[in-house]
Amino acid sequence: MKITVRAAVEADLVGLLALYGELNPEDAPLPRASAEAVWAAISGQQGRTVLVAEADGIVAGTADCVLMPNLTRGGRAILFVENVVVAGCFQRRGVGRQLMEAAVRLGESAGCYKVQLLAADDEYVHSFYRACGFEALAQGFRRYVE
């Protein structure tokens, strides 16, 4: 199986929405017009790269990367990674690892001093990120806004 990681383009929107449906199955699907409007905002955002992993020409995984300029650490930025998902039928086949390697390379090329993400409270997910070279170093907090 050939895996290619690249920046997503508008033509990937259907595949991305299918992946996000696997990530958050309780969410109602976005109407097409809404999804296109959100994609336009995402693709126009400076420092934002949605990566897709194609496996044999099929969108098999994604990771959303956001570069945050920073006034500490000598002005070196931080790369945040969100919405990492690999389609169930492609898991444990190297897709996720290649996505995370591409995210780290993106951070390195932007001069970031770290790549950071939050992970679900799931030992399988934690072991995956540890295998990709990430360390659990901090307690994460979040507050959902309704």
Q: Helix (H, G, I), strand (E, B), or coil: what is residue 123?
A: helix
Instruction: List C-alpha distances in Å: 105 to 6, 59, 90, 121.
Output: 12, 20, 22, 26
> Is 139 a domain residue?
no
Q: What pLDDT is recorded for position 142?
A: 85
Digit-by-digit pLDDT tens for the chain (146 residues) are: 899 999 999 999 999 999 999 999 999 999 999 999 999 999 999 999 999 999 989 999 999 999 999 999 999 999 999 999 999 999 999 999 999 999 999 999 999 999 999 998 899 999 999 999 999 988 888 899 98
Q: What pLDDT is recorded for position 108?
A: 98
CATH number at residue 55: 3.40.630.30
| Structure token pair of residue 14 | 């259907």
Global pTM reads 0.94
Helix (H) or strand (E) holding 58: strand 58-68
> Is 125 a domain residue?
yes
Q: What pLDDT is recorded for position 139?
A: 83
Total domains present in the chain: 1
Distance CA 126, CA 30 (A): 29
Q: Helix (H, G, I), strand (E, B), or coil: what is residue 14?
A: helix
Length of the chain: 146
> Is 143 a domain residue?
no
> Is 59 a domain residue?
yes
> Is 137 a domain residue?
no
Q: Which range marks the domain in which residue 110 is found?
A: 3-131
Instruction: List C-alpha distances in Å: 54 to 30, 35, 71, 103.
Output: 23, 21, 36, 15
> Is 140 a domain residue?
no
